[in-house]
Structure 1
């Protein structure tokens, strides 16, 4: 019998959530995604030290090295995967529409100078109101966006209205919040609050004809992945790809466009004030969205500091 991973791939696009080329080659995902946290980990790995030093030595500034690192890793990932790579706009820009648009266009330009089509790049933006506004501008210009840090239906609705190519609801971080803030400390499969939220978003999109795809992300266990089999995409880290690869447990499809049509999912809309109010009134989404931006921003600072140290050493 084929592995659980291969069965999953037959119904869902599997995306590697890592910056480690070896893991990507091993599990053969269709796409891959990176972020400052993942590149910070990769940049510390001994096997990538020469690559990082080469990038820094060829850069005129730390900021240039920062952007080059994302594009270099993204380009090498695209040599391995047949699909797309997600490259993240600095999370420190998450509340500035113009700055996000400018940075996204710069990154796309760097890829295109390498001969890589923008159709193979997903620009990853935080799903703040400003990030979604930037997405709308970029998508209108043919730059595809992966909207990350999705925790609420309000975010998903606005991303769909902005014609985002992809959204990434964070299953595990939703679970983390409920475990930390309620009396219930464990959940099975379809009861998992992260699974419930992604199912809700998936059904909403399919029922109302949105082209935006849903990519479940930030998994804590294999059970969450299995409960979302059939989702458009799932981005999975190597620690969970391994047990899926070595297991032959049958995988049942739970999400499908046909099932979504039967779901109760009334059409929703939000203007800016309504969106901000919806996030404010959803304590989990509010804390996780802004906390996620803070975490990615902090990791961007750490990565920048590592590059700065190498930059200063090499420029002596």
Structure 2
């Protein structure tokens, strides 16, 4: 199943489905506006979104903040995610297109969870809302409240690693652990939110932003394969990705998938690791760095 869709193709699908018979498969657009600085994106969504798009609350619907010790954005459970999918109006057989205003950095969390839940057709709008606007396509204001859907989550379709498995990947030759955060956070020069600065020892710096071109769209599969090969990724060893809290790491997993590489997500990510005092944190540009 394709991972990406471009703005013109999405517009064509929405136009073709306008006035379709009840019960027909549909394209459902999910708007995941979120940033670390402004987690509630509803006002931005209401000010202008792709026509028919439903707002998705990343903090409330794509994470379980009742889970203790699992990082800043623990995965929701199946029941909670089923309720979210149905609120969004998703039905079996639909296509879910996820979009944000950050080149997919937050929308990828919804894409990953939908794939993990066994939803067959989930795609990222390549270039996000900026690509839609650049194509001269219209926006609408206000809220969209769809009829409830009937989709059901069945987690397990996407691989995950836990804290110990991430540790093992970073510690030896078993595979590659990628750190998707910006380089300055990896090196420990800044840390805006977690209690310790640096990275998981052995993890390789792979900032998610470098998967994108100057227009905020994903690089070609060949370019991404070349990038990941230079980071030591091959077909013989497993790979997993983490970030601050498992959000932008999903974008890294998507980039790896575009390159033809299956990768696991470490959902707890650095927000879980840094809160475990017994786990060392490395600083500096090298994977092993200076552990503390």
If the length of structure 2 is used for normalisation, what is the TM-score? 0.30
If the length of structure 1 is used for normalisation, what is the TM-score? 0.28
Which structure's residues are more often helix, by fraction?
Answer: 1
Higher relative contact order structure (alpha carbons within 8 Å, sequence separation ≥ 6):
1
